[in-house]
Amino acid sequence: MFSSHALRGSIEVSPHFRAPKKISHVLFDFDGTLSLLRSGWPEVMVEMFLEMIPRREDDTDKNLRRMLYDDIMLLNGKQTIYQMARFAERVCERGTSPKEAIWYKDEYSRRLHQKIDGRIRSIEEGSAGPETFLVAGAVEFLEFLRMGGYTLYLASGTDEAFVKREAKLLGISHYFEGNFYAAKDESFSKRAVIDQMLSDHAIEGSSLISFGDGYVELTETKAVGGTAVAVACDEENNGSGRIDMVKRELLANSGADLVIPDYRDGIVLMETICGARS
């Protein structure tokens, strides 16, 4: 029988959580959940939006920053284009004609890659190991799941070409085999990935556990009866074992069953809530 007292470390258990009878499929988000190559992306996006948004007389940088950050994070897990479209709506609200959402997306991508290209080069040139840019304990946890017979899925709202390149660079592509989904166009959604997973394997939603740092994947997992784990990684101090309280607050209304800072206690988590499989 499940007992939250058996969970150690910084794992937080929601009062509403009830352990599933069986888990067989595991869904991961990518950026911020496994990969830290794009760490800092919200700040890049907020700064761009702050620079471009038309100002009203009563605006302050603090209030604008909060509004824009909330818009961004509520859409975290969807394709980037949705965040750009929401910003275009904010521009319209202020009586100015916005640029096309794709223009904003291209400009954001240019700015983000100015920030992260050095990280990618450091792995390619061997001056940094892939583990530097993986959430602590990720490889050990993925290996445990693979050896235990779980079916692993990866779903990301980041463009597919970037996700595939970065997952390969980090040495984790093989854990997902063909179960690899990322944004190609606006038809992509994490709910569609979940529905396809359940249909392809003829399983109930209760057989699914998802790990993510975005509102979307967690709420969609709960919508089908799955178990949702919020990964609130302390990105500035990866491996600290501390939950990032800003992320935790943002995900508080997602329905997450558990909150973890990283995967140091991931194996214990799985063994405790659904029994060891290896």
Q: Work out the average pLDDT over 108-131.
A: 94
The whole-angstrom separation of Cα 223 and Cα 201 is 18
Residue-range definition of the domain harbouring residue 69: 41-124
pLDDT band at 43; cut points 50, 70, 90: very high
Q: Which among 90, 106, 124 is the end of a domain?
A: 124
Given a cut of 60, whether residue 2 has pLDDT beyond it is no
Strand order in the sheet with 227-231: 12-13, 258-260, 227-231, 208-212, 25-28, 151-159, 180-183
- What percent of the chain has a predicted confidence (pLDDT) above 90? 68
Q: Amino acid letter at 169?
A: L
What's the pLDDT score for residue 78? 84
Q: In terms of domains, do 99 and 165 share one?
A: no
Given a cut of 50, whether residue 278 has pLDDT beyond it is no
Q: In terms of domains, do 149 and 108 share one?
A: no
Number of domains in the chain: 2
Q: In terms of domains, do 25 and 45 share one?
A: no
Q: In terms of domains, do 147 and 259 share one?
A: yes
pLDDT band at 276; cut points 50, 70, 90: very low
pTM for the model stands at: 0.86
Q: Work out the average pLDDT over 228-243.
A: 93
pLDDT band at 258; cut points 50, 70, 90: very high
- Token readout for 261 is 């800072």
Q: In terms of domains, do 169 and 251 share one?
A: yes
**Mean pLDDT (the chain, rounded):** 90
The whole-angstrom separation of Cα 90 and Cα 196 is 34
Task: Confirm whether 109 is domain-assigned.
Answer: yes
Q: In terms of domains, do 173 and 266 share one?
A: yes
Residues 132-145: tens digit of each pLDDT: 999 999 999 999 99
Q: In terms of domains, do 99 and 146 share one?
A: no
- What percent of the chain has a predicted confidence (pLDDT) above 70? 94
Q: In terms of domains, do 53 and 23 share one?
A: no
**CATH assignment at residue 246:** 3.40.50.1000
Q: In terms of domains, do 20 and 93 share one?
A: no
pLDDT band at 156; cut points 50, 70, 90: confident
Q: Amino acid letter at 140?
A: E
Q: Which among 124, 142, 161 is the end of a domain?
A: 124
Q: Could you identify the residue written with the tokens 């392809």?
A: 200
Q: In terms of domains, do 14 and 63 share one?
A: no
What's the pLDDT score for residue 74? 87
Diameter of the chain by CA atoms?
62
Task: Confirm whether 129 is domain-assigned.
Answer: no
Q: In terms of domains, do 145 and 89 share one?
A: no
Characterize the bridge pairing of strands 25-28 and 208-212: parallel
- Token readout for 36 is 């830290």
